[in-house]
Chain A
Amino acid sequence: MFPPVPNPTTQPVPPKFGDKDLIRRSASTVTPPAQRQTEVAKLIDVSKCIGCKACQSACIEWNDTHPEIGINTGVYDNPHDLTPDMFTLMRFTEWENPETNNLEWLIRKDGCMHCEDPGCLKACPAPGAIVQYSNGIVDFIHENCIGCGYCIKGCPFNIPRISQVTHTAYKCTLCSDRIAVGQGPACAKACPTQAIVFGTKDEMKEHAAGRITDLKSRGFANAGLYDPPGVGGTHVMYVLHHADKPEIYAGLPNNPRISPIVEAWKGVTKYAGLAVIGFAAAAGFMHYLVAGPNRVSEEDEENAEKLTGEEPRQ
């Protein structure tokens, strides 16, 4: 058993990291701290996962989100995709192994990978809406988010989701609020089989190595760790029985990379773009002078009510 994160003290704990530990901040420059914190990671051992969805449940409870009660579409995945209210999702794949002719039911917990080289952050035009701490956690700062959706384009894993209510982007925070006070992520805490464990990135790699040895002894010759170099490695990693074919796990990218468009945006295009933005701002100001400020009509208000209003609960 990997030693679980001990239960927290009931005394107040000063945060273990904060703004002083930022190594990246969207659309801004930061001075990295002199000393980088030990990198943390969450390891998801797909071969130990029983698909119970306790992680999803814990995620909803901790983040106090309110996903809607949906329908069955003929599969076990519920909700059917990540949403602004569901930051993690068990994705179920029925795969017939052509080598053994045996069915394998691959269950992968999907969610933010907390890339070392985060495409979302690079794509984000809003200053400080996405930050990366020196321990590796990539976090969204909602009050800075403008809801443009560029983070989705920038993400090689298709993770962030824009809320139609708050018009800001949401994803797994790696429970940065819990980790800041010495706890592990809620999903890891809830996982009954230790398919999700949390620690330093080095510890996780070491633990994964032991798991991979075990899987190889059970005939999974290609068992391995998913820590894709294309994004500089990730702070959420998978142990896969078939690490040579990550795509069979509900489309886990084989070689994820930040989209060239995003990379280009960060290069020369950025300055051209800034000029366009400057022009647009100027045009907007002209519009304000000529047409006056935007007004919220009653219809707008009603639509907003509809979007925010929740179904009464039983």
Chain B
Amino acid sequence: MTNSWTDIRNTDLVVIMGGNAAEAHPCGFKWVTEAKANRGAKLIVVDPRFTRSASVADFYAPIRQGSDIAFLLGVMNHCITNDKVQWDYVKAFTNAAFIVKDGFEYKDGLFTGYDETKRDYDKSTWNYAIGDDGYAVVDDTLTNPRCVWNLLKAHISIYTPEMVERICGTPKEKFLKVAEMISECSTPTKTMTSMYALGWTQHSKGSQNIRSMAMLQLILGNIGVRGGGMNALRGHSNIQGLTDVGLMSNLLPGYMTLPNEKEVDFDTYMSTRGFKPLRPNQMSYWQNYRKFFVSFLKSMWGPAATPENHFAYDWLPKLDVPGYDVLRAFELMNQGKMTGYICQGFNPLLAAPNRTKLTASLSKLKFLVTMDPLDTETSRFWENHGEFNDVDSSQIQTEVYQLPSTCFAEDEGSLTNSGRWLQWHWPGGTAPGEAKTDNWIMAQIYTRLRDLYRKEGGAFPDPIVNLDWSYADPGEPTAEELAKELNGKALAPVMDPTDPTKVVVEAGKLVPSFAALRDDGSTTSGCWIYSGCFNENGNNMARRDTSDPDETGAYLKWAFSWPVNRRILYNRASADLNGKAWDPSRKLIEWDGQKWSGYDVPDIAPTAKPQDVGPFIMNAEGVSRLFVVGMMRDGPFPSHYEPFESPVTNLIAPRIRGNPVARVFKGDFAQFAEPASQEFPYAATSYRLTEHFHYWTKHVWVNAVLQPEFFVEISEELAKEKGIVKGGWVRVWSKRGSIKAKAVVTKRIKPLICDGKPVHVVGIPLHWGFTGAAKKGFGPNSLTPFVGDANIETPEYKAFLVNIEPIAGPVA
């Protein structure tokens, strides 16, 4: 989230699209009810189903899953056409005025440079024109036809209300009502917040779904302000923490990136991470990358990381592929190339797509280690559970080790919530049986491995034997020790860069924040953005002071929010070009002629003059990007692509199937149903229900009572067509698998008319498996396709094709 949960109460309009906050985030949803009750805020829900969020919405509009980009670009087109743009914001704080290099073009659904065989683009034309001064060329009048604004206007002009209706199935008048409500937030005194979740990420163009809304929010001037923002509601209580500390295969902590195999040495690696400002005076904060990176290496290898060995750069793994995401991991397992798997707090047998492939992959492993508080299906993948897990155990040779672990309520540590708050928690109970903390388990595995490497050597023992492991008990590092390590400390006195005689941090002390980090090896920090979480003031994550001066919703003394306790990112953008709040009633920080100050920690150098320095300090441009250079694999602008399995062909680019640059493994393409398939005519989607949390709570008696049995949801129209009765049994199958379920026949799902043709939606909730207290069931992932987002490989769980028929129920 750019903002925080508590800030949602400051909004005028909540748009829930690509998520279902009331159902999947009921506790956070309280801030929506607060905004409605206290400010008269309105709530819009756009979803293929009339969800529990929709039940309390002021306006609901249906949409076909996988068509969000067309809808959002349609809203953007509506705003621009009707002059509902916060012009001062757009001109000053976005790259609307930047001139794009000649040669860049969009045609027939593709941008310049597409290579069909590689399923990739040559992105060399996707860039700004650079002037003689070395800076990007801009046209502040926005008249140059090659400026970002005019290219954007042309790019989205095809997304008319009529086209939105044809693609999305949203009736034109409902679309226009949503567009009008949203467009009203283009004034400086009205804001909209976007609350989204896996309904946008779990698509082959998930990143672009989110970008579309981010661009719309920029045009409306809603980023950096109270009650605005792009608010990703995370699917797990600590998934924000997972990405922050770099648990993706291609990331290092704090959103730094792991080197690839071409970056053979430190200098080569750093050469592409210079982040030279693209406009005069801009902060381009990533210029400090080297400080964060060296401090990270020092926290990894301590005294063994020296300037002479480039702080042990060579000991970092180098990627030979863009990333070892979950899909690639199981593909490699299936090919027999990955033979061991440590599965910590994850239940991929149910959570990953195409269960048949998952079972085959796990069956080829030599060993599988699961670390989990629960008896997961993954750890029992080899066990026959009748039709619910129909495997021949005698044919599976995988050796499985189940390591019982504590759950969050039984150990100490911090969870990072969607709003970037690091909140400390204490054990509320004692772990049962032989359960051990994850810290203990990992430390025991590590110390034993290290001893083996010490004794026996091996191909490359250095990174293992030199790892800095100076914990009081090497067998179980404490949560506090790890938190201090993430925060970082000074190894030698840290001097003030403007006054070399002044010591900022004494040697041996915890650093106050990442501003004290240095690139000479004199500081450590395991995760630079977390710096400040546990410093010489103590454990800031454990703070529980609810004071909130003038009730802005900031709560600066509650827990710790990264970075540097800032509650709203880009908050400099809450003030105009002179540093005065756009909306005086929602002041956040202001410029008093000398410095920035206010209710939040300023997201700008405190003395940076408002006319000189742009608010988007992480960007080399100093402004936000309506046109993105380099970072997105599938285009500098979003464009509508159908899901890989779609009930219709792509209306605006009929030749293109799915996202043209999404990676598809050999063999998986053959397992996709054709567009507009006769064999698999219905558009399926998967989701959570409020009664359950993923695959955990089916182990809990009470939750199992509240939603006991697996079901699918269909419209009354489809039920009538297929002869399916409410509460009866159905079989649902895709090209990859088949499941049985009870049928919930509902008015909450209606057929959508897309380009004149009805599209029926089949909704499949995900909480059932073959272990736990609830009735045994299947869940959707026996059916879902094995393909992910073009940029980050999040699987396309939200849009695929199935068929359905009524069946006789099992004999009781």
Known: A71-B742, A193-B33. A50 touches B703 (CB 8 A): no
**CB atoms of A103 and B748 under 8 A apart:** yes
Picked from A47, A192, A211, A314, the residue with its CB within 8 Å of the CB of B30 is A192
Cβ–Cβ contact A105 & B748, under 8 A: yes
Q: Is the CB of A52 within 8 A of B23?
A: yes
Report Cα–Cα, A214/B743, bound state, in Å.
37
Q: In the complex, are the beta carbons of B726 and A75 less than 8 A apart?
A: yes
Contact of B775 among A71, A107, A214 (CB under 8 A): A71
Q: How far is the CA of A211 from the CA of B33 in the complex (A)?
A: 11
* CB-defined contacts of B56 to chain A, threshold 8 Å: 47-50
A residues near B744, Cβ cutoff 8 Å = 72, 74-76
Question: Is A203 close to B, CB under 8 A?
Answer: no
Query: Quick check: A69 and B33 within 8 Å, CB to CB?
Result: no
Expressed in whole angstroms, the Cα–Cα distance for A103 and B51 within the complex equals 11
Q: Is B120 an interface residue (CB 8 A)?
A: no
Give the residues in chain B near A54, CB-CB below 8 Å: 26
The reply to whether the CB of B702 lies closer than 8 angstroms to some CB of chain A is yes
Q: Using CB atoms, name the residue of chain B closest to A1.
A: B34
Task: List A contacts of B690 (CB < 8 A).
Answer: 50-53
- Residue-wise, chain B 280-313 has the 8 Å CB interface mask toward A (1 for contact) of 0000000000000000000000000000000000
Asked whether B748 lies within 8 Å of A60 as measured between CB atoms, the reply is no
CB-contacts of A274-314 with B (<8 A) = 313-314
- Within the complex, which residue of A60, A104, A192, A194 is in contact with B55, where a contact is CB–CB below 8 Å? A104
List residues of chain B with CB within 8 A of the CB of A251: none
Q: With a CB–CB cut-off of 8 A, which chain A residues contact B36? A: 214
Q: Which of B108-116, B558-566, B705-713 lies at the interface with chain A?
A: B705-713
Tell me if B317 is interfacial: C-beta within 8 Å of chain A.
Answer: no
Q: Are B40 and A214 in contact, CB atoms less than 8 angstroms apart?
A: yes
**Number of A residues with CB within 8 Å of any CB on chain B:** 45
A79 and B38 CA atoms in complex are apart in Å by 35
Taken residue by residue from 180 to 201, chain A's Cβ proximity to chain B (1 for < 8 Å, 0 otherwise) reads as 0000000000001111000000
Which A-chain residue is minimally distant from B701 (CB atoms)?
A313
Q: Which residue of A lies closest to B690 (CB)?
A: A52
A61 to B701, CA, bound (A): 11
For chain B residues 726-749, which have a beta carbon within 8 Å of chain A? Answer: 726-728, 742-748
A192 and B27 contacting across the interface, CB-CB below 8 Å: yes
Q: Which of A68, A74, A107 contacts B727 (CB 8 A)?
A: A74
Given contacts A61-B702, A104-B55, whether A53 and B33 have CB atoms under 8 Å apart is: no
Report chain A residues within 8 Å CB of B774: 69
List of A residues within 8 angstroms of B708 by Cβ:
69-72, 78
Q: Is the CB of B53 within 8 A of A74?
A: no
Task: Please give the distance in Å from A314's CB to the nearest CB on chain B.
Answer: 6
B418 vs chain A, min Cβ distance (A): 15
Number of interface residues, chain B, beta carbon within 8 A: 49
Evaluate contact between A194 and B33: CB separation under 8 angstroms. yes
Instruction: Return A102 CB to nearest CB of chain B, in Å.
Output: 7
Given contacts A53-B690, A71-B742, are A194 and B30 in contact (CB under 8 A)? Answer: yes
Report yes or no: A69 in contact with B52, Cβ–Cβ below 8 A: no
Contact status B52-A192, CB under 8 Å: no
Closest to B703 in A: A57
Contacts of B40 in A (CB 8 A): 214, 217
Shortest Cβ distance from residue B375 to the other chain A in the assembled complex, whole angstroms: 9
Q: Are A73 and B727 in contact, CB atoms less than 8 angstroms apart? A: yes
In the complex, are the beta carbons of B706 and A50 less than 8 A apart?
A: no
A90 to chain B, nearest CB (A): 9
A95 to B464 CA separation, bound complex (whole angstroms): 63
* Alpha-carbon gap, A71 to B708, bound state (A): 6
| Candidates A49, A70, A73, A192; contact of B705 at CB < 8 Å | A70
Q: Kindly list chain B residues whose C-beta atoms are within 8 Å of the C-beta of A71.
A: 708-709, 742, 775
A56 adjacent to chain B (CB < 8 Å): yes
B728:A192 contact, CB within 8 angstroms: no
Cβ of B727: which chain A residues have Cβ within 8 Å of it?
72-75
Interface string of A89-126 (1 = CB under 8 A from B): 00000101000001111110000000000000000000
Q: Are A105 and B705 in contact (CB under 8 A)?
A: no
- Does A74 contact B742, Cβ atoms closer than 8 Å? yes
B159 in the interface (beta carbon within 8 A): no
- Among A79, A104, A314, point to the contact of B772 (Cβ < 8 A): A314
Instruction: Given the known inter-chain contacts A71-B742, A194-B30, A217-B40, please indicate yes or no for A94 contacting B748, CB distance below 8 A.
Output: yes
Q: Taking CB as reference atom, which chain A residue is nearest B53?
A: A50
**Cβ contact of A69, chosen from B60, B710, B711, B773, cutoff 8 A:** B773
Inter-subunit contact A105/B55 (CB<8 Å)? yes
B510 within 8 A of A: no
Q: Pick the contact of A79 from B33, B705, B726, B742 — CB < 8 Å?
A: B705
Contact A74–B705 (Cβ < 8 Å): no
Contact B58 A69 (CB under 8 A): no
User: A56, B30: Cβ atoms under 8 Å?
Assistant: no
Complex contacts, B748 vs chain A, CB 8 Å: 94, 103, 105
Q: Is B54 an interface residue (CB 8 A)?
A: yes
Q: How far is the CB of B511 from chain A (nearest CB, A)?
A: 36
Closest chain A residue to B745 by CB distance?
A: A74
Shortest CB–CB separation between residue B280 and chain A, in angstroms? 47
| Bound Cα distance from A48 to B43, whole angstroms | 12
Interface members, chain A 161-196 (any B CB < 8 Å)? 192-195
B22 contacts A by Cβ under 8 Å:
yes
A218 nearest in chain B by CB position: B58
Evaluate whether A69 and B26 lie within 8 angstroms (CB atoms) in the complex, with A74-B728, A214-B36, A314-B773 already known. Answer: no
Whether B37 lies near A214 (C-beta < 8 A) is yes
State A49–B55 Cα separation when bound (angstroms): 9
Q: Which residues of chain A come closer than 8 Å to B707, judged between CB atoms?
A: 72, 76, 78
A50–B29 touching, CB < 8 Å: yes
For B26, list chain A residues within 8 Å (CB).
50, 52, 54, 192-193
Q: Which residues of B contact A229 (CB under 8 A)?
A: none
> What 1/0 flags go to B57-68 for Cβ under 8 Å of A?
010100000000
Q: Contact partner of B50 among A72, A79, A105, CB < 8 A?
A: A105
Q: Which residues from chain B contact A313 at a C-beta distance below 8 Å? A: 701, 773
A193 to B9 CA separation, bound complex (whole angstroms): 12
- Assembly CA distance A161 to B29 (angstroms): 34
A69: which B residues are within 8 A, CB to CB?
Answer: 701, 704-705, 708, 773-775
Instruction: Judge whether A33 is part of the interface by a CB distance below 8 angstroms.
Output: no
Contact of B383 with A by CB under 8 A: no
Task: Determine whether B139 belongs to the interface, using a CB cutoff of 8 Å to chain A.
Answer: no
Q: Which residues from chain A contact B55 at a C-beta distance below 8 Å?
A: 50-51, 104-107
How many Å from the CB of B212 to the closest CB on chain A?
27
Residue in B38, B706, B709, B746 whose beta carbon sits within 8 Å of that of A56 in the complex: B706
Given contacts A194-B33, A211-B37, A218-B58, contact A60 B705 (CB under 8 A): yes
Q: A51 to chain B: which residues have CB within 8 Å?
A: 52, 55, 690
A67 at the interface (CB under 8 A from B): yes
- A182 CB → nearest B CB, Å: 21
- Residues of A within 8 Å of B52, CB to CB, are 50-52, 105, 107
List residues of chain A with CB within 8 A of the CB of B58: 218
**B50/A48 in contact, CB under 8 A:** no
The 10 tightest CB contacts between A and B, nearest first, are A74-B727, A74-B726, A105-B55, A50-B22, A72-B709, A72-B742, A73-B727, A52-B26, A94-B747, A52-B690
Residues of A within 8 A of B (CB): 1, 47-54, 56-57, 60-61, 66-76, 78-79, 86, 94, 96, 102-107, 192-195, 211, 214, 217-218, 313-314
Q: What would 13 more interface pairs be, CB under 8 Å, given A107-B52, A314-B699? A: A47-B56, A52-B23, A67-B705, A69-B773, A70-B709, A71-B708, A72-B710, A72-B711, A105-B52, A105-B54, A192-B29, A193-B26, A194-B33
| Chain B interfacial positions (CB closer than 8 Å to A) | 22-23, 26-27, 29-30, 33-34, 36-38, 40, 50, 52-56, 58, 60, 690-691, 699, 701-711, 725-728, 742-748, 772-775
27 contacts between A and B (CB under 8 A): A48-B37, A50-B26, A52-B22, A52-B690, A66-B701, A69-B701, A69-B708, A69-B774, A70-B705, A70-B708, A71-B708, A72-B711, A72-B727, A74-B744, A78-B706, A78-B707, A86-B705, A103-B50, A103-B748, A106-B55, A193-B30, A195-B33, A211-B37, A214-B36, A214-B40, A217-B40, A314-B773
